[in-house]
Structure 1
Amino acid sequence: MDAEELIETLEDAGLSPYQADAFVTLLELGSASATDVASASSVPDPRIYDVLRGLEEQRYVETYEQDSLHARAHDPAEVLADLRSRANRFETAAEEIEDRWSQPDIEEHKVSIVKRLDTVLARADELIRAAEYQVQIGLTPAQFDELSDALETARKNGVDVRLCLFPETAGDLAIPPIETLERACSEARRRDLPSPFVALIDRSWTCFSPYGGSTNEYGVIVNDWTLAYVFNWYFITCLWEVLETVYTDRPDEPPFTYADLRQCIRDIEPLLEDGLTIEATIRGFDTETGREVTKRGTVVDLTYAGVSMDDDQSAPLSQLAGETSLTLETDDGTYTVGGWGAFIEDFEAMRVTVEAID
């Protein structure tokens, strides 16, 4: 750093231009009379005394009388400590600015717009690790590598994880090994076209970012049930319903566990039509009180807005887009059970386990 740059830096640290120039000059001279400092710097003669006294007040120099006013640079320890403290504050401020730029305070907003995909992935990682019931996620193999540890944690915690893999750009899709998928998800499907990153956690949180070919990079982090429900239907229709399954842990015999009531109804409707008895356990929430409930009983009826299918066929997804519920007969009464967003039923099911089919 040359003298001019040092002067500019000292000005940034709070010295006036004359003070910075006089101090750097004294560093070079060692000690000198006020007139010599003025001659060797750009400080006008009439101003030099005020400039030196100002520097002395700030502990940069000390003055003394020797026929005339003289000055020398003060022991730099205090000056250096002050400059380093300022540098640390600037560094801290820079980090804070970066944090605020990349990630607004999520806790205070239902919807947060962020500027980087890294922020979306980092938040998704946190939410997936804390999930209790279900994760629905669509991502590239590279993003899967980044979030696989969080997904494995969710699976170890008993969370139902539905995973859709798609390429970053149009082309071949590298599917992770089956043993890797087994640790990270309940079921995985593939899509051969690029798609936005999306993760839905416990029907409340959504993390979303456009796919890599998008003109602008940004992300949306949503903590809102209604918006999450919209993203849920995007996930089901675009990233799940018609895609090829590459891995599933679904057993051949009961118990069968469902995080999606609509999928459960599609699977058991033909069985009920054939006169079979279905024993099920419902885990969810009382729609009136919000308290957690667990009920086991017999499924005695199915209700949905569409028209029932003939010939033992499952109802298409479009028939189940509206009101959809099952009726469960238990030892202590008969209850209606709805899926995501239930409010006219007795319970909202977070998980349905078909225990037995007789």
Structure 2
Amino acid sequence: MEELLGNIQAMGLTQYEAKVYLSLVPLGLSNAYQISKISGVPRARVYDVLDGLVQHGLVMKQESEGGAHYSSLPVDVFLESMKSKWEETYSSLEKELKALEKQEREPEIYVSTVKGEDNILSFCRVLIRRARKRIVLSMWEPMYCNLMEDLKKRQEGCLLRGILFQVNDPLPGLELHRKTHYVEHVDHPWFIVSVDGQELFYGNSIEQGGNAFYTDDPAHIYLLEDYIWHDVLVNRLVGEEKREEMDQWIAPARKSFFGQIRES
């Protein structure tokens, strides 16, 4: 019931209005005393709340010799009314926000942080949808599985390039990174999505629960796109047949480079 109450309030009703409407749905025609008792709304407030709902057209009022009685708007009618209002609000909001976004402003380079799995995936999907020329990415299996259908839809209109880790069946244009000790034991899987050389989104893969970062900074975009190309290039040069041979020195050499062990 608490979840239902919250959902009703999300449609623009106050807590008391939501409680009164929800009590009226099963009650049917009732007086203010009954509604107050069932809904838990104080009797001193219930009349004002009911009058407000009547004004909104969500509750119907019948006057009789025995006093005023109230009934809820039928559920189907209520839902249709809420849907229409939501769609009108959405259309108006969409138009006004996009108009604001198009207003000319001084170019400003920035990096912004995005938190939360749902927000990160939604941000990726929006970027993928508005790509016009190319999508360049580097990504691990969990992120890729969540975004694969979105990438498929953009394949016909966009160049899709990049490298994937621990993925079984990459889309055309995406290369599978060879198996290495580093890939199999990496502590912090990442993702990088670059769109049209204009926008960049990167950070921890969603299962890491970390942050992601969006920027339109040309230096960020150039460096990370070039990093992806370098990864692709090395992957092509080494090849699977040289994996064991290369692993013997790549893993120690990487640790030595970052000062994790001494060079022999």
TM-score by length of 1: 0.38
More strand by share: 1
More helix by share: 2
Return the index of the structure with the highest Cα Rg: 1
Higher normalized contact order (CA 8 Å, seq sep 6+, divided by chain length):
2
